[in-house]
Copies of this chain bind each other. A is one copy, B any other.
């Protein structure tokens, strides 16, 4: 099995998952194939929806003599006529649904192995939401025990070890930790179907987060039984990679059409509010008039078109860097889902999510409502503002939010203020939080779109941050020229280097407090774009230390800059430390693969600039992280950091 991150946003990721039968791009949806009754064959699914992997049920195969014989003789791929990766389920869900079913937990794993399943599943104990913690703990213990035993008999099959723990987050986390320790390769999160059926999305979010906290981050995570696209964006943002859908056919049997925002009954529809190939070919009344098997087939296809497209939208959002926006928008479709989003406002969850959050994005940040301000990237910014930003004076002139970039929009005001009070900081009291004017081109300030009025919750959250940032300083709210006249004596006019202040502020925010002291300790020359006037390249004593990116206003670290930071900051700050084997390759400019990473700075974030060193802390290169520390420590496949400039 190979599992490597190709792209990422939020705690979600687009990965390549490789099995004996080929490669799957995640987040992926595995349609459930009933081997007794294939309404749509896996081959047809591949053709119509681009289905790369399916799931079928080994318990159902095993209990049917004919299916069992054929599966053992010719393999499960032959049985359902599909040459891509196949996952099999074990009968756990059937035990939960229909009570005590006789299945031997090891026999069913061996059976899955024997029929050539790519990913087989242990027979875990389904933890129901109404269980006591004691009962749930017993279930988890038995699940872990079975997982351990199953690992011994799985052969070269990938074994899915399901995380259980009912509605008890600590139990989920413990279960996940134990399963991770036995070195399993695939982790379903189980026992969630009744939560979804009853729209207990807050419990679902807590369950996913607790499981993810306990799991090895380098392994695929499958939200077992989740087949409705309503939940896909949020589940992906929290780190789920796989879904499976029997919903497409169950709902179709019942005349229900799946939409990303919810479900509609065909009988309630005069028109089909959809543009899928089914709904553009037939009218509502044509579908209604069809005989049931035909109608069911068409609705099932509609359901799969919609479900697969939602995953495309999610992968697209990951690549654009606006997955949180999709999550927040979708949450508005369902009040219970909206309620569940409040889980993401808890500090412990923001702290966990922030680790995975890319340092900047390709697209502008759109405000969708009061949840926006709780996105990990904004949480990070607020923290860094307090921890890393150096106030150059004990007072600040405060401007209200305005057009972007602020320094351009407020150029007159800035001139006026500086003419009177050369010593004050200028801070925009923005919808995103306080923005010192020097940071106004840094992502996400210039790259965010907010309405003129946000909402009371956002305002109150931001006021708290503003007050914390300004603690011990004097805030002078700018109301035109007169504001300062009464408040201060005009200063002696000194010529401050505003550009130097700007690059210093950004460098501190990006690399750590006082990074600017290391980087700009010499004669500074700043080269600007002739076209836009924006800062492009920075030289210190004629060494090129940094470039500023036009897109996100952050720095790209040059090798000379890396040397300075490397001298200044103590190990392992900003470092990615590579094994000896990899050292010569990195020195030659090859990228750093995860399996060669020895250690890394725990503050490095995806897409952060980093310093690549060997085990003796000798500088090898500069690079851009793809993974964070806990990922670098656990992934065996894929790139950990892309080398930018190397020492040779």
Contacts and interface: CB of A to CB of B under 8 A. Distances in A.
Contact of A274 (B312, B315, B317, B452): B312
Nearest to A329: B332
A455 to B, nearest CB: 5
A368 to B, nearest CB: 5
A356 interface: no
Interface string A268-298: 1111111111011000000000000000000
Contacts of A279: 309
A634 interface: no
Contacts of A82: none
A323 to B, nearest CB: 12
Contact of A275 (B309, B335, B339, B457): B309
B316 A270 contact: yes
Given A274-B309, A315-B271, A369-B369, A329 B333 contact: yes
A282 to B, nearest CB: 12
Interface residues of A, number: 51
A456 B456 contact: yes
A598 interface: no
A410 interface: no
B271 A312 contact: yes
Nearest to A313: B273
B272 A368 contact: no
A59 interface: no
A336 interface: yes
B305 A268 contact: no
Given A48-B280, A332-B332, A367-B338, A312 B451 contact: no
Contacts of A273: 309, 312-313, 315-317
A642 B20 CA distance: 67
Contacts of A316: 264, 269-271, 273
A456 B332 CA distance: 17
Given A268-B320, A329-B333, A339-B453, A277 B277 contact: yes
A315 B284 CA distance: 13
A456 B453 contact: no
A460 B460 CA distance: 13
B460 A456 contact: yes
A449 B332 CA distance: 12
Contacts of A276: 275-277, 280
A84 to B, nearest CB: 17
A429 B450 CA distance: 32
Contact of A456 (B269, B313, B455): B455
Contact of A451 (B329, B338, B367, B449): B338
Contacts of A451: 335-336, 338-339, 342
A334 interface: yes
Nearest to A277: B277
Copies in the complex: 2
Interface in A450-493: 450-453, 455-457, 460
Contacts of A274: 309, 312-313
Contact of A305 (B264, B275, B332): B275
Contact of A366 (B308, B335, B342, B366): B335
Nearest to A314: B273
Interface in A303-347: 305-306, 308-309, 312-313, 315-317, 319-320, 328-329, 332-336, 338-339, 342
Contacts of A335: 366-368, 449-451
A305 B305 CA distance: 15
Contacts of A334: 366
Nearest to A304: B275
A607 B260 CA distance: 31
A370 interface: yes
Contacts of A617: none
A316 B279 CA distance: 14
Nearest to A318: B270
Nearest to A330: B329
A308 B272 CA distance: 11
**Which of A48, A264, A272, A368 gathers the greatest number of chain B CB atoms within 10 Å?**
A368
A444 to B, nearest CB: 13
Contacts of A457: 455-457
A133 interface: no
A177 interface: no
Nearest to A283: B50
Contacts of A413: none
A329 B261 contact: yes
Interface string A368-382: 111000000000000
Nearest to A334: B366
A625 to B, nearest CB: 22
29 contacts: A49-B280, A261-B329, A264-B316, A269-B316, A271-B312, A271-B316, A273-B309, A273-B313, A273-B316, A273-B317, A275-B275, A275-B305, A276-B276, A276-B280, A277-B280, A328-B332, A329-B329, A332-B332, A332-B369, A333-B366, A334-B366, A335-B450, A338-B451, A339-B451, A342-B453, A370-B370, A370-B456, A455-B457, A456-B460
Given A280-B305, A457-B457, 17 more contacts: A270-B315, A270-B319, A271-B312, A273-B315, A274-B309, A275-B275, A276-B280, A329-B329, A329-B332, A329-B333, A332-B368, A335-B366, A335-B367, A338-B367, A370-B370, A455-B455, A456-B456
